[in-house]
Every structure is written in C-alpha cells, then in structure tokens.
Structure 1
Amino acid sequence: TGASDPYCIVKIDDEAIIRTATVWKTLSPFWGEEYEVQLQPNFHSVSIYVMDEDALSRDDVIGKVCITRDMLAEHPKGYSGWVSLSEVDPDEEVQGEIHLRVEVQGKQGDRRLLCCTVLEARDLARKDRNGASDPFVRLRYNGKAQESTVVKKSCYPRWNETFKFELAEPAGEKLCVEVWDWDLVGRNDFLGKVVFSVPGLEAAGQEEGWFRLRPEKSKLKDDEAPGEGSTQSPAGAPTLLWLGHVCPLRPSRPGTCPHQDGQVHLVTLLDETTTAECRQEVAINLVKLFLGQGLVKEFLDLLFELELAKPCEPNTLFRSNSLASKSMESFLKVTGMPYLHAVLGPTITRVFEEKKYVELDPGKVEIKDVGCSGLHRVQTEGEVIEQGRQHLQSYLDELLDTMVRSAPACPPVIRAAFRRLSQRVGERFPQHQHTKFVAVTSFLCLRFFSPAIMTPKLFHLRDTHADARTSRTLLLLAK
C-alpha cells in the first residue's frame, strides 16, 4: 500500500514495558502518549523500537532509538528533539545476564591458570520458533577457545562448568565469554558477551556475580573495570523518571518559538502553509499533543486570538476551514464523544426505530410512502408535509431539551474552552454581544452535533448506516 502500520515498543534495558497504539496506514505517525516509569538505579538505557504491525506474519522492525543513562544525565531538564532511527542489527539485540566466577590461580613466576566457572544465565533472547533458545557458552582467550554443553529449549540455562586457560605472560589479553544459540541448520545466533580485563582480574584476584550481556560490537575500554556490565546494584534509592523529564513538550507558550525578531507563531505558519486537505491531520495531532501536556486550553486560546485578529464579520466567525476551526472540531471529537452519545443517543435511536416518513419539500413528497389516512381517501401533499413537520418537531423538541439540560454533564475542559471563546469574541465585538453565542453554537452544533446526527455510524452512535428514509429524517433534523 506504500504505507505502514507503525507502533512503538519501549524497553528499559532488555525488558519491554510499553507498547503504544498502532497508527494505521501512515508514514508520518503521531502518538502523543505519555508514561511514567520507575527505573532501577543501575539501569543502562531506554530503547524505543518502531515496529510495523502485520496481521499475517511477524511484525517488522522499522528502526530504533537508544537513549543511554549517560545521555539522560547530560540533560537533567529533559531530553527532547528529533532523533534518527538506527537500523536494527540482530547481533546488537541482546538481553539477559550470565552468572560467572572468574579467577587467576597460581603465584607470580609459576605456571598460572585463568579459571572461569560458568554457572547459569537468565532472561536470554528467544531466537528459535519454539519461543526459546538452545544456549551454549564459548570462551576465548589468547587465541584459544572452549565451549560448554548445549542446553536445549531454555532461556534460563544452568551449566556449572569450569574452563581453564594457561595464563599468558604478560597478561595483557582479554577474556571473552560469549553466549550463543545453537542451530542445527544455519548459523548459530549471537546472544551476548561479557569481556574481562585480565590485568584487572590479577589485581582483584577473583570476580563473581551476575553480568549483563553486551552486544557484539561493544568495546571494553582500557580504563573500565573488569566485568563491566555487572548488574549488581549500587547504593541509593530507586529513581522515578517521568517521561515529561525525558521528552518535555512545554514551550513557554503553546505554538511559539524564539526568533531573532521576537516571537513567531508556529500555528500561523502552519495555517498559512498547509493545504485544506492536510490541515485536519495537523489539527488532530496538535490537539492530542497539547492535551497530553495539559495545555490544550492555552493552545486553543492562542488559536482564538490569532483567528480573531484577522479581518472577519461577526456572523461568519470560524466558518472557514482554518487551523483554529479544525483544531476546535478535533478537540470536541477527542474530548466530547461520551457527552455527544449521552445527548444525541436517545433521539437517534428513536428515529431509527420509528422510521417515520418526514419530508418538508413539496417537490420530494411521495404520497405512496405514507399510505392512506382513512378509508378510500389518500392524504394530500399538505397533510403529508404537516404530518412530517409534527414528527420532526417532536424529535427536535426532545433533542433541544436534552441539550439544554446537559450543561452539567458537559466535560469541564470543553466548558472552559467555550468560556474562553465567548470571552475572546465578546472582547473582539463589544457592540455585537450575540456574536459570542453564535461562535459557541457554530462549533457545538454545526461542527459537532450536526455531523453526528447526519452520519451517526461515523460517530459510533449506530452500528450500521441509515436507510434512505431515515437518512432524510436525520438530514432535516440536523438542518
């Protein structure tokens, strides 16, 4: 189709903790989701994988972004910005830990041995189709290699095997402990490694513990401690990192950015440079973004201010497809759907169930659709129209009464937005106080209630589309 169905998976080190919603059929997805995550003091990185959902086969990995602990430490006020996706290398995608005991045996000047006991591993990557792996360990030192036995179908293998190498003089080589997934057909899969500095082992005498497996391409620096990657926890309480601290999206004022000549309104640029076709998508993304940051009222107020600064007539306010109109329309759909269902639901259900004939246009009246009002007498055109008018009036009275009584049930965030809109319009047109009511109803009725009445299925008020007669009734009711 030329598009993808992207979603994101967030991993802390090797543990997947978040999966976002899937955005269907797009190459420019927007999520606007925010999470709070409790991190252990010894965490290493936060990785975000962008995936392409596939209903018929395994989901594809589009790319990933890895934010290390050091990167976050360098940005105490938050980490924000566009980051290029990196291609995912299978040899880089490792997880899990291995329990090792490594020591140097013998005295200086005598024949000495480098001994490594491989005890067990945990949470290894699942490389086989059965949902597990067949892990074994390969140890390399001074040009020689030894391997452990293969443990079949396990991500938590136990070996308890000891391997010995004759220590080279001087002991400048590194000991590399690699974990592999054994495959009968094809090449073995890399599961991770731990690298030890032998001079460091000589100084320490012995190292034992759980060590985090590292990717194939990682390099151990000369000044790093032996067994770098250990997951033994340092002292200190757990740290709570808010995603808002990692990805802050709070500008000094929504929709503005610093410029050498002062403040430039980004929303003005968006309004002027986007086409009518894509403005709806821009609006919904901005609304979700500022809703997630708790700034949607300020964002909409800025749009009202900029829109009212343009030359406009009191009776045609917000009638165009401007960014302000589209954003307010999207805002109502995102925040007000339960309210809309409560207001319109009973009347829409009644119209669908009664299926009464309603027509007010004499040119469209069909007598055969209404039958006879009495024995041997067909209704006149005027009688049909009057009967339809009464039906329509009944629906309209019920709907308006429900709308008037629904004010307390209207979501507070919508009431606050309408209150600010009314104030802005009243300040702009002090001589036309009725205009502020026109502005509010133009959004609530023309852009929210009326479209839902005409096409209730699109607003999830009904499971199926209306037939021709019911559609005509709904159209007249919406008008």
Structure 2
Amino acid sequence: MKAWPLLAVSCSLHRSGSSDPYCIIKVDHEVVARTATVWRNLNPFWGEEYTLHLPLDFHHLAFYVLDEDTIGHDDVIGKISLSKEAIAAASPRGIDSWLNLSHVDPDEEVQGEIHLDVKLLTEAQGPRLCCHIIEARYDLAPRDISGTSDPFARIFWGSQSLETVTIKKTRFPHWDEVLELHGEEGPLRVEVWDWDMVGKNDFLGMVEFPPDVLLQCPPRGWFRLLPFANAEEDAGCFLFYFITLPTSSFLPSLDDTVTPLAMLDEVSSGESRQDIATQLVKIFLGRGLAVPLLDYLNLREVSRTTDPNTLFRSNSLASKSMEQFMKLVGTPYLHEVLKPCVNRIFEEKKYIELDPCKIELTRTRRISFKGTLSEEHVRENSLGLLTGYLGEILEAITGSVDKCPPAMRVAFRQLHQRVKERFPGTENEDVKYVAISGFLFLRFFAPAILTPKLFDLRDHHADPQTSRSLLLLAKAVQSIGNLGQQLGRGKEQWMTPLHPFLLQSITRVKDFLDKLVDIDEEALEAQPRLLFPPSAVIKEGYLHVRKAEAGALVPRFAFKKRYFCLSSENLSYSKAPEWQVRTSIPVCRVCAVERVDENAFQQPHMMQVVTRSREGQLDTLYIQCKNVNELNQWLSAIRKASVCNEGMLPSCHPGAFRGNRWTCCLQQDRTVQGCSRTHSAVTLGDWSDPLDPDAEAQMVYRQLLLGREVLRWVCMEKSAVPEPQRAHTAAAAAHLLAVIEDLEKAHKALEQQEKEQAGGGSLHP
C-alpha cells in the first residue's frame, strides 16, 4: 500500500496553443483513479493524492496524461509506466521528482494473459514441439471501433511458424488448438495479433521461452503478454510488503523519557512524519490504544515547550499524529457539521471579496440590476455574505458537542489537562483553549473549508470564484481558532471589517471547548475499535441499476435510477432516500465486484455486483455510474466492505449474457467459468478503510530502515544526548535495531515465498 501523489506534469504544446490535461492511474491497465481536468493549461498542477491498495501479484502501475476534448476521443499526451520489479528495486524513499513522459506506442500498450500447455518431445526423426494454445483473457487491447478485437495466435520455433484460427469480435478468445512443429531447436515465441481486413494487423502481445526452459520445465499455465523485446522499462517507486510490527514495542510508560517511540520521532524526517503519524495512529487505533498513544506524544511535546506561543506550532510527530487522528476518527463528524454549509456555498456561487486589490467591479453586475456597484458596496455586500456563512458554520460547530466522537473528546480532554498543568496561572488562561482549537479549527475545520474535495465534502474542486470565497472563510475560521490573538497583526488589514464578528465569537468557542472536554474517559470502554460503527453508511448516492436477464439488446430505459446506500452489513437501494420499500443485499453474500465492458450494454461506466443466494445460485446486479471517478469509488467501497467474505470468485465475465452467449468470450454456456480474473485487492484508500495493522506497520518499518545508520550511531553512545541519558538512549536504539533485524528476516522469508509461488513453470502468480 502506498500513497501516490500527483503533483505536477509538464505537458507538450497542443496544436491550438493550449491543452486541457488530466491524469489517470492504471494498475495492470485497469483505471483506478482520475484527476480533475485543468482547463487551458500547459503546466497543470493537480495537487491530488491517492492511496492505492495494490495486490502482491500486480505487474505494472502506469500514469497517463491526456488532453480532454469535447468532441471525439481524448488525446494521449504521454505516460509513465512503473513495473513491479522496478518499483521493488527503487529506493525506500520512493520518488519525489520530475519524470519524463514517454510516447505511447500502441505496440507497447500490451495487456492480458495467454493460457498455454507446451511439450517438447524427443523422437527418432528429431524433436517435436506441441504447443497447446488454449485461450487468452481479460484486457487484450481493443483495437476495433466496436471495442473488441479479432485475435489470432502465431508461434515461432526456429525458422518455422504456425497460426491459430481467428476468433471474431472478442477480447477473450478460446482457441483450444494444438500446433505442432518438427525438427527445430531454439526459443519458442508466441505472439497474439488482432486481424484487420484492411491495413496491417495490430500487435497485442507476446511471450517467449528460451530452449533450456522448454527442456527442463515446459511451460504450462497462464502467462503475461509482454511488448516486443526493445520496449524500455521505466524506473519506479517503492513497493510495500505486509509485515507485522508489535505495538508493545512502541507503547511506553508516560514516565519514560527515552523510548523506541521517541527514537522514531528523532530519526524520522520532516516530510515523512505525516505518513509515519498516519500509520502509527492506525496501528494503535486497531488495538484500542490510540488515545494513550496521543497522550504520550502530547505530554512529550508539552514538556519540551518553554514558550506557550510556540506550542504545537511545528510539524512534530505529536502534532501530525493528532491531525491524522482527527481525520481518521472524525471524518463522519466533519461531514455532518460542514457539508450543509459547504454545499450551500457551492450552489449559490456568490461573489465575495474584501481585498481592494482583488475586487473586480465587472463581476458585480451579477448581483445588481442597477449596473456596476462601487467598491464600497461590493465590500459591504461581501461582508454581509461572509458573516452569514460564518454564522452558519459557527452555529454548526458550537452545537456539535454530542456529535463529536468520544475518542476525539477524550483525547482533547487529556491534552487540555496536560497543557493546564504545564502552563498554570491566569496569564496562561487561554493556552489550554488554543491548544485544542489549534487542532480542531486550524488543522481540521479550516482545511476542510478551504479544499472540500480533499476531505470528501465535494466530488469536484471549486471554481475560482467559489474557491476565493472558501479561502476567506477558512482565514476567518483560523482567526476564531486562534481566539483572535493574531487579529490586526498581519498584512491583511482589509480583513478588519470582519474583526468585530470574530471577536464576538470567541466566548462561544471557549464555551464549546469547555463542553467538549467535559467527558469521562470511561466513555471509551464501550466504543468499538473500528473507524465507524457496523451500521454506519460508507457510501450513498443515485445510480442506475438493472438485474441480469437473458435476452437481446437492452434498451437504455431498462436501467432504473435508484438511491444506493452501502454499509458494512448491507447494500440497499430504493427510489429515493426516504423511500420505505428497499431492496437489500447482505454484503456477506457478495462474491465479486467488477467492471463491465462498455460494449456489453453500449453504455460506459458500468459495474457488476455478483452475489450468491442461499441456494448457491449466482445473481448479478448491473450498475451504471455517472463517471469513471464515481465508478472507481463504488468499486473500491464495495470491495473493502466485502474484504473478509468467504467464497470470493477468482474470475467472472466482464460482459453480459445476451443472444444466448457471453458478449466477452462468446461462450454459449451461461454457467461457464468467468473469462476474466477478478480484482478484489485493488482499492482506493480513504478514511473508511478497514484497519490493517500489517499494512500500516510496513510504513514504520520503512522509516526505521531509513534511520538505521542514525540508530547505530546512537547505539554506540556517540550521540549528543547528555551523559545521564546516553545509556538509556543507546538501549532504546538497540531495541529498534533488533526490531529491524527481525523484520528483515520476515521480509526475506516473504520474498522467498513469493519466488517459490511464482515457480513451477507458470509466470502467472
């Protein structure tokens, strides 16, 4: 598992002098994420970050940059392809640099697998090669306008070659042919081509076996199709293997001053602390120990701070852990508090501006029937709109004490107590409030208001006008979170008209914080260790649905618009959210969640949910989404909800059964085994992810590897730590070095296990 940030890509010049670029991410040619389009820009900045859960048997991770066209197909600008081998060999730090986009060559866009059974027989008249070409499957590149291919296979052995028959209009050909060649020696090459009546045939991929493999271990099984041998491989990032790291190694006593956890804080770099904090919080959250972890980190931070004005101002492990804890535990709370107001701001699209240098009077015609307003009128109108929105936001926040998760409230209560003990006296009366509001307002509510899409409050980024309104609101919320301490000290004096409202809000905020920390720590004992209760809604929204039926072409109106609701227990849908009559599917019966070929129903963005009834019969529900992002989100959500199900299908049909045959593989048996392998392990990471301590611990392991030399130096008592603590520090470093050694052994054992599983003559895991 790894977060792959999409930062910036330099695009080549479009013929019209501009481009509308966006980026898509593919795992083994399956699109798993798509960024927003940056309109009319040759140097786009997306700033979007995705966490992808990758299966251990994946082959490639690819990033494509495309130019969106309103008419016709989108143009491919370039791509970056990262092989699994290159990713595994990369530096543990991953990649944080510019990479050159490569040209997209159709002969290198190879996708799919082929099923072979090869035998090399020794006879009196010479060697005889029997190559049983059984089938090929899944994502052979569709080269025809129909979205399919007309594939045939061709084998080469020495100077001889033979071909199979051509299977028309399918991406899942089933040849079941045995091709025999006599009296030659040398490597065997199997190629797959798409036959064209006009023009040259299109290359779909190849696999090659050297002579020693044919003699010692004849190929038998599924093999991944590869591009021609001159195709170049790109350098890659970092692959994480799943290794367990015991939490008992890190959770110290609050009286300890030198601990492995403290050492981890010291050896971690500033840019990596957010990732480390996220994984640590998830690990301890899964064990029900997140609040004690935060209390230890906060106590360590508070005890080392001498000036209360600098408390939690740095990006320490304590501040990052609190920030990530709020996101993990408090995202449903954040949605409930802010979503109504944020939606209103997006829908109303009001022009708001207080800075005289940024006011555009031409825009005021939208809000006045009397022509252009003066600058003063614009500021007065903007002030009224801002105070109105702020009043609604403040009312929602200060009235949300009972909605705040108990774990957050207990963590804030402990923080409140630690700060109060460290900075007593009336002169420091506000410090205990600022410590909490600094996290809750400055690092939680304000960033969500500024960029709602990154907090799942909206599906798309705001337009420039709405984005400016959100920025002004976020600044105001930050000032409220600082309890007005910075008002009038900055350069933005044009915010002064808003100061009276902000100062009046401080009393309400303090009262809210007092109520927030008024909770008994025993309230946590009855709380589950999951991120959300089993009955909580994971995802909901309108989709189009249709049950599987045999028959001819399905008209568009056969898909009904329904409101879907997914929890960890059920996937249900009805005509409207408030509708009483609902169709409910237990999540425990889901056995596959996959994409559907566009040509199956002549409609895009389709998915299927395959379930098994109590009688053992497989039923399929076809669902259409609005766009590829929504499709990926629903695929990911249902896959994660059903991650622990037994009896998940290894394969399914990406087409539909119409006209007495499957549209994908053309098989006429409705119950025949699926022609495409399933992808239940490919998901997007978000706040609702199930806790996976093994996966989270791998990030900590990576950080320990990066800090190994520092730990060795400390272990030899050569650090700058004062003499009385040097021995304790060395002992803590030695403890972590022992943990690293144990994990390395487990890591090597897992690598060896993977190699053994990949053996036996089959290149397919």
Q: TM-score, normalised by structure 2?
A: 0.37
**Corresponding residue for 1:265?**
266
Aligned position for 1:189: 203
Quote the offset at 1:311 in angstroms. 2.8
Paired position in structure 2 for 1:97? 114
Q: What is the aligned counterpart of 2:242 among 245, 268, 276?
A: 245
Corresponding position of 1:166: 182
How far, CA to CA, are the matches of 2:170 and 2:451 in structure 1? Answer: 53
Structure-to-structure mapping, 1:27-176, within 5 angstroms: 30-32=49-51, 34=53, 45-52=58-65, 55-56=68-69, 57=74, 61-67=79-85, 81-82=93-94, 90-91=107-108, 93-100=110-117, 102=119, 104=121, 107-108=123-124, 110=125, 113-123=128-138, 125-130=140-145, 131-168=147-184, 172-176=185-189
Once the 2 structures are TM-superposed, how far is the Cα of residue 192 of structure 1 from its aligned partner? 1.9
* TM superposition shift of 1:136: 2.0
CA distance in 2, matches of 1:112, 1:322: 69
Question: Structure 2 CA distance, aligned partners of 1:325 and 1:161?
Answer: 64
**What is the aligned partner in structure 1 of residue 577 from structure 2?**
none
Paired residues of 2:277 and 2:324 also in contact (CA < 8 A): yes
User: Which structure has the greater CA radius of gyration?
Assistant: 1
CA 1:93–1:477: 2 relative to 1, 3 Å: farther
Q: How far 1:137 moved relative to its partner? A: 1.9
Q: Do 2:24 and 2:64's aligned partners in 1 also have CA atoms closer than 8 Å?
A: yes
Instruction: Say whether 1:412 aligns with 2:406.
Output: yes
How far residue 425 of structure 1 moved from its aligned partner, in angstroms, is 1.4
* Structure of greater relative contact order (alpha carbons < 8 Å, 6+ residues apart): 2
Distance 1:67 1:427, change over 3 A: farther
Query: Deviation digits for residues 23-67 of structure 1, max 9, x if unmatched?
Result: 8864876434557x5x7xxx5x55333344654426653221414
Give the letter for the 2:173 counterpart: P
Q: Which sections of structure 1, spanning at least 5 residues, go unmatched?
A: 73-78, 220-241, 275-281, 354-387
Secondary structure of the residue that 1:64 maps to in structure 2?
A: strand
Shift of 1:440: 4.4
The residue aligned with 2:419 is 425
Give deviations 1:442-462, integer Å, cap 9, x for gaps.
33675379859998999969x
Name the counterpart of 2:226: 215
The one-letter code of the counterpart of 1:425 is V
CA distance in 1 between counterparts of 2:64 and 2:418 reads 44
Deviation at 1:132, TM superposition (A): 2.4
Shift of 1:410: 1.2
What amino acid maps onto 2:50 in structure 1?
Answer: W
The amino acid that maps onto 1:192 is: M
Q: Is the 8 A contact 1:98 1:212 kept in 2?
A: yes
Q: Tell me if structure 2 keeps the 8 A contact 1:34–1:244.
A: no
SS in 2 for 1:426: helix
Specify the SS of the correspondent of 2:141: coil
Alignment of 1:362-377 (within 5 A): none
CA offset digits 1:362-400 (Å, max 9, x no partner): xxxxxxxxxxxxxxxxxxxxxxxxxx9xx99xx89x949
Query: Number of residue pairs matched?
Result: 369
The Cα of 1:349 is off from its aligned counterpart by 11
Q: Deviations over 1:278-325 (max 9, x none)?
A: xxxx88766655555557764786366336523314xx4648576676
Change (3 A) 1:288 1:421: same
Change (3 A) 1:416 1:20: farther
Distance 1:124 1:214 in 2: 10
Aligned to 1:372: none
Distance 1:218 1:436 in 2: 65
1:148 maps to a residue whose letter is T
| Residue equivalent to 1:178 | 191
Cα 1:136–1:424 shift into 2, 3 Å: same
Q: What is the aligned partner in structure 1 of residue 556 from structure 2? A: none
| Residues 1:443 and 2:438 are matched in the alignment | yes
Three-state SS of the structure 2 residue aligned to 1:145 is strand
Counterpart secondary structure, 1:31: strand
What SS is found at the alignment partner of 1:61? strand
Give the RMSD, CA atoms, in angstroms.
5.9
Q: Is the 8 A contact 2:116 2:220 kept in 1?
A: yes
Q: Which residue of 2 aligns with 1:10?
A: 27
The SS at the match of 2:50 is: coil
Deviation at 1:129, TM superposition (A): 4.7
Describe the shift of the 1:251–1:19 C-alpha distance in structure 2 as closer, same or farther (beyond 3 A).
Answer: farther
Give the letter for the 1:104 counterpart: L
Q: CA deviation at 1:418?
A: 1.4
Label 1:92 to 1:430 Cα distance change in 2 as closer, same or farther (>3 A): same
Residue identity in the other structure for 2:242:
H
- Superposed displacement of residue 409, structure 1: 2.6
Q: Is the 8 A contact 2:109 2:141 kept in 1?
A: no
Counterparts of 1:54 and 1:251, CA distance in 2: 51
Separation in structure 1 between the aligned mates of residue 343 and residue 157 of structure 2, nearest angstrom: 77
Asked if the contact 2:136–2:174 (Cα under 8 Å) also holds between the matched residues in 1, the reply is yes
Between the aligned partners of 2:409 and 2:296, the Cα distance in structure 1 is 13
Per-residue Cα deviation, 1:92-122 (whole angstroms, up to 9, x for no partner)? 84421234454537x42x3664444544433
SS at 1:215 equivalent: coil
Answer with 140-149 or 446-455: which moved more.
446-455
Distance 1:64 1:318, change over 3 A: same
Q: How far apart are 1:128 and its partner, in Å?
A: 0.8
Q: Provide the C-alpha distance between the structure 1 equivalents of 2:64 and 2:158, rounded to a whole number of angstroms.
A: 41
CA distance in 2, matches of 1:137, 1:341: 54
- For residues 174 and 456 of structure 1, what CA distance do their matches in structure 2 show? 57
Answer whether contact 1:97 1:123 (CA < 8 A) is retained: no
CA contact (8 A) 1:33 1:292 kept: no
Further displaced range: 435-444 or 119-128: 435-444
Q: Percent identity?
A: 22
Distance 2:404 2:449 in 1: 21
> Does residue 339 in structure 1 map to residue 357 in structure 2?
no
Rounded to whole Å, the distance in 2 between the matches of 1:113 and 1:441 is 78
Normalised by the size of structure 1, how large is the TM-score? 0.54
Which is further off, 141-150 or 450-459? 450-459
Q: CA deviation at 1:245?
A: 0.4
Distance 1:337 1:115 in 2: 60
Cα displacement (A) at 1:434: 4.7
1:143 deviates by 2.0
Decide whether the 8 Å contact of 2:111 with 2:141 is kept in 1: no
